[in-house]
């Protein structure tokens, strides 16, 4: 499977394409950053991000898009921008009919390093090793995007199994339980 990982941000949107399967060798197809000028209007920046993501989708034709799930615990201003950039990434993917998956930062760290609390350097170094690169991709947003793609490839089999179980469950359990069974 070929996955585009997106680490969303208004100033720097990390993008990385990885090909592989769970338990198989992983290959980096491409990595980069979509940047927008900090002094531009938010609406203009979103247009630039859309254009950038579209180019990556056109060029690398991923089958899945994995986007970092945004939380609003952190800095208020940053979080709004991140949520908006992630919306554009999700929109570009879904508009093409590509499945979009969201992974939390700790899911990504845990998948790639074994610890949900790993720091940027540890993630960068594991990404470098897993993809057999000469050096950690820079900036960190680019490495994070690759980590997201790897996380998705490795989690996909489990996620698909869960979806199958849930679907099977839905088709065997009656929508409304008979009275008195609760």
According to the binding rule CB under 8 A, does residue 3 interact with its own copies?
no
In terms of CB distance, is 84 or 113 closer to its own copies?
84
Q: Based on the shown chain and the rule CB under 8 A, indicate whether residue 6 belongs to the binding site for its own copies.
A: no
Count Cβ atoms below 10 Å from residue 151 Cβ, excluding itself: 25
Residue with tokens 């592989």: 20
Q: Is 7 annotated as a binding residue?
A: yes
Selected range binding its own copies among 53-61, 74-82, 131-139, 162-170, rule: CB under 8 A? 74-82
Q: Which of residues 63 and 119 has its CB atom nearest to its own copies in the complex?
A: 63
Residue positions counted in the chain: 182
Cα separation of 8 and 25, whole Å? 26
- The rounded distance, in Å, linking the Cα atoms of 54 and 65 is 12
Q: Which residue of the set 19, 39, 68, 144 is catalytic? A: 68
Taking the complex as a whole, the smallest distance from the CB of residue 64 to its own copies amounts, in Å, to 12
Beta bridge partners of 17: 4, 30
Q: Which of 44, 59, 63, 119 binds its own copies (CB under 8 A)?
A: 44
Q: Which class for 74: exposed (0-12), middle (13-18), buried (19 or more C-beta within 10 A)? A: exposed
Binding mask 95-114 for its own copies (x = CB under 8 A): x----x-x------------
Q: How far is the CB of 143 from its own copies (least distance, A)?
A: 24
| CA Rg value for the chain | 18
- CA pair distance 131, 39, nearest whole angstrom: 35
Inter-residue contact 127 to 147 (CB < 8 Å): yes
Please pick, from the candidates 94, 121, 158, 159, the single residue that binds its own copies as defined by CB under 8 A.
94
Query: What residue ranges bind its own copies (CB under 8 A)?
Result: 41-44, 46-47, 50, 70-73, 76, 79-80, 83-88, 90-91, 93-95, 100, 102
Catalytic residues: 7, 68, 141
């Amino acid at each position: 499977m070929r996955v585009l990982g997106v680490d969303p941000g208004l100033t720097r949107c990390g993008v990385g394409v990885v090909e592989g399967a769970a338990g198989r060798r992983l290959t980096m197809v491409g990595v980069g950053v979509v940047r927008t000028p900090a002094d531009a209007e938010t609406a203009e920046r979103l247009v630039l991000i859309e254009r950038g993501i579209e180019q990556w989708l056109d060029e690398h034709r991923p089958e899945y898009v994995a986007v970092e799930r945004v939380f609003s615990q952190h800095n208020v201003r940053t979080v709004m921008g991140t949520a908006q950039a992630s919306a554009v990434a999700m929109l570009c993917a879904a508009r093409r009919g590509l499945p979009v998956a969201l992974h939390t930062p700790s899911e990504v760290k845990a998948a790639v390093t074994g610890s949900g609390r790993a720091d940027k350097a540890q993630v960068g170094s594991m990404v470098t090793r897993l993809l057999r690169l000469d050096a950690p991709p820079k900036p960190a947003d680019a490495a994070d995007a690759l980590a997201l793609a790897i996380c998705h490839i490795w989690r996909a089999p489990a996620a698909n199994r869960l979806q199958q179980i849930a679907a099977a469950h839905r088709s065997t359990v009656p929508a409304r339980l008979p009275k008195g069974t609760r």
